[in-house]
Amino acid sequence: MGVTEIISALGLIGLGGLIKSIFDYFIENKKRKSETKHDIKQTRYQAIILLCYSLIYFEKEKNKLSKFRPDINTKEELYNEIAAEWMNMTLYASDDVIISLKLFLQNPKQNTFNIFTLNMRKDLYGIRTKLKSDDLIIKNEIML
């Protein structure tokens, strides 16, 4: 093996390492974006789920809501906040989540809320579930 062949082989190995480094960079960049998107979704979904719950049970939850969101004093302000969150989620949420929150906003009841939460769960974690909306309703709530 001559010097030229050795230099060519070393160059080829170096080129392979460079290609691998570029490939690893793009994979890591995509992974970082995906993790960031998931973290944003999880944080936003946790906040939105509490806002929606507060809308359904506004009279019972308004004191707690005022501690964490003193800018929301009425049911209409709360509704408007959820509607703004709905518009924001068009940037990161799945189609099913967007549509189910729209349905909740059109009819803010326990059933539409449950469908929305199941869709968020599926979007965040890819959980295949057999749960139905009714499975998330406690029939014998203790009234305090």
pTM reported for the whole predicted model? 0.74
Distance CA 111, CA 56 (A): 10
Per-state percent for the chain, helix, strand, coil, to nearest 5: 80, 0, 20
What pLDDT score does 52 carry?
97
Distance CA 41, CA 50 (A): 14
Axis-axis angle for helices 3-56, 58-68 (nearest 10): 130
Residue-wise pLDDT for 81-112, tens only, equals 999 999 999 998 999 999 999 999 999 999 99
- Does residue 62 carry a pLDDT above 80? yes
12 or 105, higher pLDDT? 105
- Does residue 22 carry a pLDDT above 60? yes
DSSP element (H, E) containing 66? helix 58-68
What pLDDT score does 85 carry?
96
